[in-house]
């Protein structure tokens, strides 16, 4: 059994797993940041409010002009002598005074709306600047993440090809044993011997086991502690 080949297969599989995890992390990071969403929503809200205030101001100004025309016409009638009946004159005068009060109120609404619009326009300018900064920052981060994602996908594809070529050289028995151990041993079937210890479980290995792992002619030697295949260069 090609123990060295299985060890190479193990390294490829671990690197493929790392690449998959990193791609998954990148995809999560590629979701638009909440701060950017909130800034965009704030800009939209301010723009909507500005439109409402503008419409309110225009309506008030239009009402003011219409009232001014009606007041002017009523005052003309009052001064022209067209109305001579005392009761009608009193009603006309009362109407003029009522319209003037109404006009004062709508002019107040127009001025208030204009002042609020100016304040909202300043807020909008600040919020738009914040949004532009966040969008530029996110755009740069996104480009970097997408570039990294492409790199890892390419790396994963290369590893997949390497794994295919290596698997074709290994025996069916070796691949079967490897697959069984991968499933039972948390994805690690082959462990290197490092400084007299198993690199997977870090337990010190008996000298005889280390020696056997180095000299065995294709016969798997297992870690007495974790049961993984030992590879000794």
The predicted structure's pLDDT at residue 131: 97
Could you report the average pLDDT of every consecutive run of 10 residues in the chain (233 residues)?
93 96 95 94 96 96 95 90 84 93 96 95 96 96 96 96 95 94 94 94 94 86 94 87
In DSSP terms, 204 is beta-bridged to 197
DSSP secondary structure letter of residue 31: S
pLDDT at position 175? 95
Give one word for 195, left, alpha or beta, with left for phi > 0 and alpha for psi -120 to 50.
Answer: left
Return the ∠ at Cα 221 (arms to 12 and 210), rounded to 5°.
100
Instruction: Give the residue among 231, 203, 198 at the shortest CA–CA distance from 215.
Output: 231
Q: What is the pLDDT of residue 192?
A: 95
**Per-residue pLDDT, 233:** 78
pLDDT of residue 216: 78
Q: Helix, strand, or coil here: 232?
A: coil
How far does CA 63 lie from the centroid of its chain? 47
**pLDDT of res. 189:** 96
Q: Is the whole-model pTM more than 0.75?
A: no
Angle ∠(201,202,204) on CA atoms, nearest 5: 120
Q: What is the reported pLDDT for 126?
A: 96
Q: How far, in Å, CA of 105 to CA of 162, rounded?
A: 81
DSSP-derived letter for residue 191 is: E
Model pLDDT, residue 137: 95
Question: Is the separation of the CB atoms in 96 and 76 below 8 Å?
Answer: no
How far separated are the first and last CA of the chain, in Å rounded? 15
pLDDT at 62: 96
pLDDT value of position 80: 87
Residue-level pLDDT at 79: 86
């Amino acid at each position: 059994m090609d123990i060295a080949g299985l060890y190479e297969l193990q390294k490829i599989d671990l690197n493929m797993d790392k690449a998959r995890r990193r791609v998954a992390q990148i995809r999560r990071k590629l979701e638009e940041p909440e701060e950017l969403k909130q800034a965009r929503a704030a800009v939209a809200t301010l723009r909507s409010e500005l439109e409402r205030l503008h419409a309110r101001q225009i309506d008030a100004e239009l009402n003011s002009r219409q009232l001014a025309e009606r007041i002017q016409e009523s005052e003309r009638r009052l001064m022209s002598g067209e109305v001579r009946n005392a009761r009608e004159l009193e009603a006309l005068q009362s109407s003029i005074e009522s319209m003037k009060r109404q006009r004062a109120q709508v002019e107040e609404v127009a001025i208030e709306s204009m002042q609020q619009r100016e304040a909202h326009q300043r807020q909008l300018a600040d919020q738009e600047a914040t949004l532009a900064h966040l969008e530029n920052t996110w755009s740069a981060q996104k480009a970097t993440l997408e570039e990294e994602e492409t790199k890892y996908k390419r790396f994963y594809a290369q590893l997949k090809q390497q794994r295919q070529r290596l698997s074709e050289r290994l025996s069916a028995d070796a691949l079967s044993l490897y697959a069984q151990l991968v499933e039972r041993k948390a994805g690690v079937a082959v462990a290197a011997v490092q400084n007299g210890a198993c690199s997977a479980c870090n337990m010190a290995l008996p000298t005889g086991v280390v020696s056997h792992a180095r000299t065995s002619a294709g016969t798997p030697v297992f870690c007495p502690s974790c049961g993984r295949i030992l590879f000794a260069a």
